[in-house]
Structure 1
């Protein structure tokens, strides 16, 4: 994924990192030798002026095509025509196995290797990574959401999008990325240990940023849980007067209470899971013992 951050789609970067030779020549000032009026005579000079190739950047000549133009793989053009909801102006994350689905749905239409290359270009594009980083679900060929995006895919897409991204003037991209990581963690529904185990990689800078984001969420969650306890202890059924009593914004309080309730439900589910697993194991053991004794285990 070596596209520049402004590489907006599957075709090509909008702003190439380096200019092509033709562009450099067009941008350069005209050499003094070219500014001098041509002297009479000089067969080679006259031939160059009449029949030879014009120098790069000559006035009135169209610019030569460069690598910065938009390029579209032919198979991607076909896909955009067939599936505009997936490959058109707006992208959607693709389900795993979409490659085989396309081959099966369009036998003889797509050459296998060409389709593989086209999908690689598409899924490495910044525009595609942006929708993955937003945590949108994966979609099938009919445009139906069929699978949640894995937290680790969201996280790594976020890192890559921000790596490519050119920050705006006065913007702190690190702080913004840290906030996005925190939001992705909260949306995952996982606890800190589970999320960390999925997304932590080998990049030490990225891991340090992950640690900072998780620490911020932990601090915020602790405040939210304390706020929920205070709200429940107040006996109030309405958030607005409770928030007003503490001089807080009612909408912010409501968000914090929702987050605290979500954390409480997740903790209760984790606490119940071992008990359910233990009960299942006991049932299996009881059934095995009954079979060993020659009895039929109850349904």
Structure 2
């Protein structure tokens, strides 16, 4: 009996969709702050889109560090064609700035933890080497 081949992982199709959107719409490629309701604009132009995959793709895009950094500094949102589509509220800019700060802090902590783990591994390897050397001499 054959086992069914697993389908794409959740989010995998969304990543492919995001890549397609980046190729098709410069506002995605350039990580410009998107208009509120951009999902409706996308569904109007591309009616065959899977809504769940679109929602995931938009989440991946709008939570990327590059998009958040752009949103933090921008004052206006854009539609799919790059035309102005409303102002970015100060609360949205502040929220983006907080997310950027948190993300960078978390990355710094992860790098510090990684460096500490590597140093500890080097110490263990060095001690192990000393023990091997000590016991190999005693023969």
- Could you tell me the TM-score, scaled by structure 1's length? 0.30
Q: Please state which structure has a larger fraction of its residues in helix.
A: 2
Q: What's the offset of the Cα at 1:105?
A: 0.6
For 1:76 and 1:136, the matched residues in 2 are separated by 24
For 1:107 and 1:114, the matched residues in 2 are separated by 13
Q: What's the offset of the Cα at 1:135?
A: 2.8
Runs (4+) of structure 1 exceeding 3 A deviation are none
Q: Is it true that 1:130 corresponds to 2:69 in the alignment?
A: yes
Q: Is it true that 1:74 corresponds to 2:50 in the alignment?
A: no
For 2:102 and 2:52, the matched residues in 1 are separated by 29
Residue of structure 2 equivalent to 1:162? 101
Q: What's the offset of the Cα at 1:136?
A: 3.2
Larger Rg: 1
Structure 1: runs of 5 or more not aligned: 1-71, 168-299
Choose from 23, 28, 32 the match for 1:87: 28
For 1:86 and 1:146, the matched residues in 2 are separated by 12
Q: Is it true that 1:106 corresponds to 2:13 in the alignment?
A: no
Structure 2: runs of 5 or more not aligned: 1-13, 107-139
For 1:146 and 1:100, the matched residues in 2 are separated by 14
- Could you tell me the TM-score, scaled by structure 2's length? 0.63
Q: What's the offset of the Cα at 1:161?
A: 0.5
Q: Deviations over 1:247-296 (max 9, x none)?
A: xxxxxxxxxxxxxxxxxxxxxxxxxxxxxxxxxxxxxxxxxxxxxxxxxx
For 2:53 and 2:98, the matched residues in 1 are separated by 28
For this pair of structures, how many residues does the alignment match?
Answer: 95
Is the CA contact 2:32–2:78 (under 8 Å) kept in the aligned structure 1? yes
Cα RMSD (Å): 2.2
Choose from 33, 36, 56 the match for 1:117: 56
Residue of structure 2 equivalent to 1:149? 88
Q: What's the offset of the Cα at 1:166?
A: 4.8
Q: Deviations over 1:95-129 (max 9, x none)?
A: 01100110011111x21111111001111111111
For 2:74 and 2:15, the matched residues in 1 are separated by 27
Q: Deviations over 1:46-70 (max 9, x none)?
A: xxxxxxxxxxxxxxxxxxxxxxxxx
SS of the residue aligned with 2:71? helix
Residue of structure 2 equivalent to 1:205? none
Q: Which has the higher relative contact order, 1 or 2, with Cα contacts under 8 A spaced 6 or more apart? A: 2
